[in-house]
Amino acid sequence: MRGDRFFAMRTGVHRLPDGQPARFEKYELGSLRVGSGKLALSDPIFLQNTGVVTIPAGDYDVVATIAHVPESYDYGLTRPAYLSLVLSGEPTDSIAPVKFDEDFSESGVHAVPAIAGIPDLRGISTSQMSSVSMVDAEAIGPGLPVNPGTWCDTVISPGDGTGWFERMDTENDGPLGTLLTKLPNVKDGENIAILIARPERIFPVVQTLDGQGRITGVHIDLLVIGELSEKLQAFDGQDEVALSDFSLAETRTDKTFGVQDRETARASTGVFSRLRNFFRG
């Protein structure tokens, strides 16, 4: 993979696959504890069925790279692009498919279509709830209720404002659509990092390496920008409804659909609802 076409943790204005400019920012979500050295990657709905990557045990910074797109794309105005675990501050020399642990990842990992042109490239899938996560694989069992069938109703989305997804729909814990939080039943601070993503997709997972071939980071590529987005033709362009509404707002002189009304519409719709509406490809 070409380093100049990989944008994890890069900032500034970069052009999306359709040629439009977007402003990229990186958000440091905090430190993820991976005491077992087994990093689990999945949609948080699928924590009983993850892909696992072996890394040195430790606590590592988690970074979300998010694109701020033109208003004509959708009312969300942001598109999460990468979820990254930073293992080292050494400069990146190369990028390659991550090496999943075959003992743990048989059903939690999916092949990325060959059109990507990269052998052995694999990724993780998202559900209709549309998000990706990183967590210590050995913390999932003791950290969550015994019965996985209860996780959604008691931890992920109980509907009382305390669930992971409800908290991601606010800025109380970080940028909208992100969350770094402790697992509910752990004693040593094991936690989980979550980033909203498009629903029902397979997102490639890659690793960055330094000049000595040592892993410096694990990155879930959400296919918003870069080489893989282009090769897989995975980019969702400007939304026809949002584009027509934006054009109408620009040409009308009254305030029936002015900027204030558009801001109100955005604020009244949660992150997950917006992205399910507009990332429906």
The encoded tokens of residue 7 equal 């944008």
Alpha-carbon distance 219 to 84, whole Å? 4
8 Å CB contact between 249 and 257: yes
- Residue 128 pLDDT: 87
- Residue 260 pLDDT: 34
pLDDT digits (tens, 9 = 90+) for 206-259: 999 999 999 999 999 999 999 999 999 998 877 655 445 434 434 333 332 233
Share of the chain above pLDDT 70, in %: 83
* Residue 100, domain extent: 3-278
Number of domains in the chain: 1
277 falls in which pLDDT band (50, 70, 90)?
very low
**pLDDT of 266 over the 60 cut:** no
- Residue 250 pLDDT: 41
**pLDDT of 167 over the 60 cut:** yes
- Residue 74 pLDDT: 65
Side-chain half-sphere CA neighbours of 262 within 13 A:
20
- Residue 3 pLDDT: 82
- Residue 273 pLDDT: 47
Instruction: Residue 167: name the closest of 178, 153, 152 by CA.
Output: 178
pTM of the model: 0.86
Please give the biggest Cα pair distance in the chain: 63
Cβ atoms within 10 Å, residue 52: 21
pLDDT digits (tens, 9 = 90+) for 42-85: 999 999 999 999 999 999 999 999 999 887 776 567 899 999 99
Report which secondary-structure segment, H or E, holds 251: helix 240-251
- Residue 264 pLDDT: 30
8 Å CB contact between 142 and 185: yes
Alpha-carbon distance 86 to 266, whole Å? 32
8 Å CB contact between 67 and 21: no
